[in-house]
Copies of this chain bind each other. A is one copy, B any other.
Amino acid sequence: MGRSEHEPEPEKGGPSTFSPSAELPPLSAHDLGDLRRLGEQWQVSAAVRALPVDPQADGFRSSGGATGAAVLFRPDGAGQLTATAAAERRDTPEGRAAGRLRRLLLGRPLASASTLRERMPKLIALPVLASDLLSSVAYGPEAMLAVLVLAGSGALGLSLPIAAALVLLMLAVGISYRQTVHAYPHGAGSYLVASDSLGPRAGLTAAAGLVLDYVLTVAVSVSAGVAAITSALPSLAPFSVPMALGVIGLLLTGNLRGIRVAGNLFAAPTYLFLAAIVGLIAVGLAHAAARGFSVVAPPPTAAAEGLGLLVVMRAFASGATSMTGIEAVSNAVPVFRPVEWRNARTVLTWMVGILIFLFTGLTLLFHFNGLVPRSDETLLSQLAHVTFPHGPWYAIIQATTALVLLLAANTAFNDLPRLLYFMARDSYVPRRFLHIGDRLALSNGLILLAVAAAVILVAFGGRTHSLIPLYAVGVFLAFTLSQTGMINHWRRQRGPGWRRRAVTNGVGAALSAVVLLTAAVTKFVEGAWVVVLAVPVLIYLCLRVRRHYDRVRHALSLHPTTTGEPAGAGTIGERTPAVVPQQVRHLFVVPVARLNQATMRTLAYVGSLGQPALALHISPEEGEADRFRAQWATWGDHIPLETIQSPHRVIIQPLAEYVSALRLSRPDLTFTVVVPDVVVDHPWQRLLHYRTEQRLRRTLRRHPGIIVANVPTHLCL
């Protein structure tokens, strides 16, 4: 691999950069052409450009009120304003209280300019990225033994050959990922790699697997972490689900605060955990050596099922959960210091090496000490008890295990929102996952992850061993697709040594595929069916979302097809109306129930526009309509009035239907319904008013092409 270390070309704003502007993507050259042609057709009166305000000089200060006048916007001299924090403040008492709570929990908002990426030295990156992978040894070997013990304690000896096969798998996948990191220096997540080299469907499949995997990572790591605590303090066992939910809440809050704290927070516990487990293995091996590596016979267990290939395969697939998290480095190449890909590859090699050491060591010690899985205590806890019967060592091992497992859950909090961001950029998930929160975190993805993991955790009662069968399928699906994608990548590039590289990735892909199939088949009834079912469902939903966005984009595109219909309002679809002002013909409609200040103000507003207007009055009774017309005449009949009798005393529907029917008869007109709107302050006061404005708006919103404006009259009572 030495020769391949040429510098990959840095791409500007490559596929893995986050930008708040992703929500507002640039127009294509084609769109810009349409825009120019459209603008050339525009004719507006000079009055439109005669601004009565100076948009830069006016409107700098808030009204003051309780907080005193504050500067809301600062001009930058170049004709642009920048909003200050005061302009973002909510202006209701409840809104302000919520804002204060938010600031207390999450800290002050961070400006977009702070999106400068945090670069990590290798010794910080190692613990940050490795906590997920390394913490897997706390449940992976145990999951493997838990399957073997079903075939009786005699079958436990098979753990050594299975572990050897798993070590080979780790090596193959590790080497395969080393190549991926080099090939995709801007981030080599399975979604990006599979999309790029195998096509969008493959990318989507990998993404669906990864989404499930991340949710399960949180659920499994948190429940395993809580199990490490309850193994040491059995009296806490009844509270494991609330404890787990509390941990998820903490992780969510921490991540919403932003990634900046994350690095330092990670380093210490991961290194402590490493030291503790390495110490455990060293002391354990020393004890075993002192006993001449004799094997303590495990407590005899009756075989629940016969020892067959199926059991061995299931044990292999269960043990493979120790590898979850191996993809962390490939997702995170850009966080390394330059030369990013080189540093990333080094850290990946370290990680795989440490994983193999821990996994082999622990499996051997479980074997030498004849330990079998129990429901009330984890295997690691049993081993620690046997190895350190006295002193503080047991407590240290359990505490660091718990801590590192909780940090492993945090890895998913880093990765899932990022994945959703890329998927949202490709329109596969709702666009709100593009939004960068006020602490520069991808808040919506974080919240989704926390909620989903909490639901799964509660549904499975917080039991790690029930969650394990669901776990391997998603992650190995992503591994397989990403490694397969790399084969294509090398074939297309045909750089020096591309065959060797393709073969390396091919081996990784093949082995991953074997684990994937094994896990899906052997654990199908135990729970893998959930994932096998969920992946296609997720893919279907993503494709539906994508189709919706594509249609919206097409429907809203600027490309003019006909110019026969007026601008202003209409249905897009069968015909595309022109969007130039000189073709707009107006009719303003004012619903009037009674003549008061609010109505008069609305009529004055409409009258001042100098466009045709029609007032509508819905009357519940003949006599009332006559009375109203008399009032209208008293006023002077400045605007034509139509009264409609509604024999069943319904107001909203006939109003909406009348305007809608008018519009159908004259589709060339643009209808604007201007509604008088009495605004009261307190919610209880709203109970005392009909809220016609809101109800009418809701109803008219279903009728295409009718603009609704409210003329508010605020009552300061």
Cβ of A545: which chain B residues have Cβ within 8 Å of it?
A: 688
A620/B688 in contact, CB under 8 A: no
Cβ-defined contact, B557 with A596, below 8 A: yes
Q: A587-B51, A635-B36, A642-B81 are in contact. Are A658 and B621 (CB under 8 A)?
A: no
Contact A609 B611 (CB under 8 A): yes
Question: Which chain B residues border A596 with CB–CB below 8 Å?
Answer: 556-558
In A649-701, which residues have CB < 8 Å from any B CB?
649-650, 653-654, 656-662, 664-666, 669-670, 672, 678-680, 685, 687-690, 699, 701
Per the bound structure, the CA–CA distance linking A548 and B684 in Å amounts to 11
Cβ of A375 < 8 Å from any Cβ of B? no
How many Å lie between the Cα of A42 and that of B639 in the bound state? Answer: 11
Q: B83, B89, B570, B628: which contacts A24 (Cβ < 8 A)? A: B628
CA distance A19 to B701 in the complex (A): 32
Closest to A661 in B: B59
In the complex, the chain B residue whose C-beta lies closest to that of A547 is B717
Q: Is A388 an interface residue (CB 8 A)?
A: no
> What would 9 more interface pairs be, CB under 8 Å, given A21-B621, A581-B605?
A27-B594, A35-B634, A42-B638, A44-B608, A51-B640, A83-B654, A568-B601, A579-B600, A583-B604
Residue of B nearest to A597 (CB): B556
The digit string for A325-340, where 1 denotes a CB below 8 A from any CB of B, is 0000000000000000
Q: Say whether A661 contacts B704, CB under 8 Å.
A: no
Closest chain B CB from A463 CB (angstroms):
32
Task: Indicate whether A199 reaches chain B with its CB closer than 8 angstroms.
Answer: no
In the complex, whether A577 has a CB less than 8 A from a CB of chain B is yes
**What are 27 contact pairs spanning A and B, CB under 8 A?**
A24-B594, A24-B624, A27-B631, A32-B631, A32-B634, A36-B634, A40-B636, A48-B613, A48-B639, A52-B587, A53-B587, A55-B662, A58-B665, A61-B661, A63-B660, A72-B658, A81-B645, A82-B644, A91-B702, A438-B648, A549-B688, A551-B717, A579-B601, A580-B604, A581-B605, A605-B670, A708-B709
Which one of A125-133, A242-250, A309-317, A429-437 contacts B?
A429-437
A493 at interface (Cβ–Cβ under 8 A)? Answer: no
A10 sits at the interface (CB 8 A): no
For the complex of A and B, the 5 pairs showing the least CB-CB separation, nearest first, are A39-B636, A581-B607, A59-B661, A709-B709, A573-B716
Please determine whether B47 and A610 come into contact, CB atoms closer than 8 angstroms: yes
Q: Which of A110-118, A138-146, A187-195, A272-280 contacts B (4 or more CB under 8 A)?
A: A110-118
* Residue interface mask A620-633, B partner, CB < 8 A = 1: 11011101100100
Consensus secondary structure, chain A interface = mixed
**Residue in contact with A44 in the complex, picked from B62, B638, B699, CB distance below 8 Å:** B638
- Is B431 within 8 A of A690, CB to CB? yes
CA distance A549 to B715 in the complex (A): 11
- CB contacts (< 8 Å) of A35 on chain B: these are 595, 631, 634-635
Q: Is A585 an interface residue (CB 8 A)?
A: yes
B657 contacts A55, C-beta separation under 8 Å = no
- The answer for the CA separation of A90 and B695 in the assembled complex, in Å, is 12
- Any B CB within 8 A of the CB of A7: no
Q: Across the interface, do B716 and A712 meet the contact criterion of CB distance under 8 Å?
A: no
CB atoms of A666 and B709 under 8 A apart: no
- With most chain B CB atoms within 10 A of its CB, the pick from A83, A555, A573, A610 is A83
CB of A60 within 8 Å of the partner chain: yes
Q: How far is the CA of A638 from the CA of B63 in the complex (A)?
A: 31
For the complex, give the distance between the alpha carbons of A424 and B644 in Å: 25
Bound complex: CA A160 to CA B55 (Å)? 89
Contact among B81, B580, B710, B712 with A644 in the assembled complex (CB-CB below 8 Å)? B81
On whether the beta carbons of A624 and B665 are closer than 8 Å, the reply is: no
Cα A251 to Cα B27 with chains together (Å): 63
Cβ of A714 within 8 Å of any chain B Cβ, yes or no, is: yes
Q: Tell me, yes or no, whether A576 is within 8 Å of chain B by CB.
A: yes
A564 beta carbon closer than 8 Å to chain B:
no
B21 touches A623 (CB 8 A): yes
Q: Does A253 contact B (CB under 8 A)?
A: no
A646 within 8 A of B: yes
Would you call A614 an interface residue if the criterion is a C-beta within 8 Å of the partner chain's C-beta atoms? yes
One digit per residue, 1 when the CB lies within 8 angstroms of any chain B CB and 0 when it does not, for chain A 6-21 equals 0000000000000111
Q: Residues of B contacting A20 with CB < 8 Å?
A: 620-621, 624, 649
A395 contacts the other chain (Cβ, under 8 Å)?
Answer: no
- The CA of A549 and the CA of B578, in the complex, are separated in Å by 47
User: A60-B661, A61-B661, A80-B625 given as contacts; is B635 within 8 A of A38 (CB)?
Assistant: yes
In Å, the complex CA distance between A618 and B109 comes to: 17
B594 touches A83 (CB 8 A): no
Q: Is A49 an interface residue (CB 8 A)?
A: yes
Task: List, in ascending order, chain B residues with CB within 8 A of A608's CB.
Answer: 44, 567-568, 581-584, 586, 670
B567-A601 in contact (CB<8A): yes
Distance in angstroms between the alpha carbons of A618 and B80 in the assembled complex = 10
Q: Are B90 and A610 in contact (CB under 8 A)?
A: no
Q: Which residues of chain A (511-568) have a CB below 8 Å from chain B?
A: 545, 548-549, 551-552, 555-558, 567-568
Contact pick for A645, options B49, B80, B631, B634, CB 8 Å: B80
Q: B600 near A558 (CB under 8 angstroms)?
A: yes
A123 within 8 A of partner (CB): no
Query: Given A39-B635, A42-B638, A713-B556 in contact, is the A650-B51 Cβ separation under 8 Å?
Result: no
Q: Does A67 contact B (CB under 8 A)?
A: no
Residue pair B585, A52 in contact (C-beta under 8 Å): yes
Chain B residues near A610 (CB, 8 Å)? 44-45, 47-48, 610
A26 at the interface (CB under 8 A from B): yes
A81 touching B51, Cβ below 8 Å: no
A55 to chain B: which residues have CB within 8 Å? Answer: 614, 640, 642, 662
Q: Are A646 and B21 in contact (CB under 8 A)?
A: no
- Whether A88 contacts B650 by the Cβ 8 Å rule is yes
Q: Which residues of B contact A645 (CB under 8 A)?
A: 76, 80-83
Chain B's closest residue to A704 (CB) is: B714
Tell yes or no: A510 within 8 A of B by CB. Answer: no
With the chains together, A717 CA to B47 CA distance in Å? 38
A118 to chain B, nearest CB (A): 18
Q: What chain B residues lie within 8 Å of A672 (beta carbons)?
A: 709
Contact call B658/A605, Cβ cutoff below 8 A: no
- The CA of A85 and the CA of B646, in the complex, are separated in Å by 9
Least CB separation from A703: chain B residue: B91
Q: What distance in Å separates the Cβ of A169 from its nearest Cβ neighbour in chain B?
A: 40
Measured CB to CB, the closest approach of chain B to A382, in angstroms, equals: 48
Is A235's beta carbon under 8 Å from chain B? no
Most buried by B among A40, A567, A614: A567
